[in-house]
Amino acid sequence: MESSETSAIDLRPPTKVLGLAWDPEKDLIYFDPKDLLKFMSRKEESKRFILSVVGRIFDPFGILGPFVIKLKCILQDLWTLGVDWDSELAPKLRHKWQQWSSEAEGLTEIKIPRHVAPLKSLTLLRLELTAALLSARLAKQVSSCFKYDANIYYWTDSLISYYSIRGDSSAFKPYIKNRVQEIQLRSDPIQWGHCPGKDNPADLLSHGTYAVKLAQNEPWWHGPPWLKLIPDHWPNRHRDNLDSELSARKN
């Protein structure tokens, strides 16, 4: 009886979230490869078919990037060699394609937890610092892959978070203190800047906008106008103006 119930559960279509499958019981998001594998079962081997496979992989979060890039490299080789759309693949490329195809079933093993603001009531400072910490962790991980030194800058529209990161972590209670310390460990406080709310393109995701306005919204497509200028022209506010906010954050 238990096995039949399990089979019934497995046969149910997955819940969709942003075009990806969602496991509501474990709160995990994953790529459901059923349709892709069904399409690939045609066992065709041509540039046209491989391009069609690439077009069927919907990965808005980039979680499959390291695997999908292998297929895109094969496609790039086909273009470089000038292979016709429906011509047979050269043995070496055919082997790469067949190997990639055989590994595609493993996509079902890739699942990630959703990242949402917790239901538990948290102060705005805690949420803002959590976002800042995530940025510092991501930047540290990505920059470790560079073969050159890159100038990295971080931006937050929260003045309290901004001054917390640039301040003395020991002045805070454990929750804030621990996060500020890790941010300062993974980044240099002078790399952090404050982005005024009116210039923050991410705010559009909070209150939304009309399609016509979105098409003409410069900050959304190109970032704040001052970001193209030298650092001397970036926004800044003197710490003396924030005594009341700094006092409030310590309470």
Q: In a structure prediction context, what are the per-residue pLDDT tens digits for the chain, which is 251 residues long?
A: 444 433 334 556 677 766 788 887 887 888 889 999 999 999 899 999 999 999 999 888 777 888 898 899 999 999 999 999 999 999 999 999 999 999 998 888 888 877 665 555 567 888 899 999 999 999 998 988 888 888 899 999 888 899 999 999 999 999 999 999 999 999 999 999 999 888 998 888 777 777 778 878 888 888 999 988 988 888 864 444 444 444 444 44
Residue 81 C-alpha from the chain's centroid: 33
Q: Is the pTM of this model over 0.85?
A: no
Quote the tokens at residue 27.
């709160």
What does the DSSP 8-state code read for residue 117? -
Spatial CB neighbours of 249, under 8 Å, sequence gap ≥ 6: 125, 160, 163, 164, 172, 176
Three-state DSSP at 135 gives: helix
Burial of 124 (0-12, 13-18, 19+ CB in 10 A): exposed
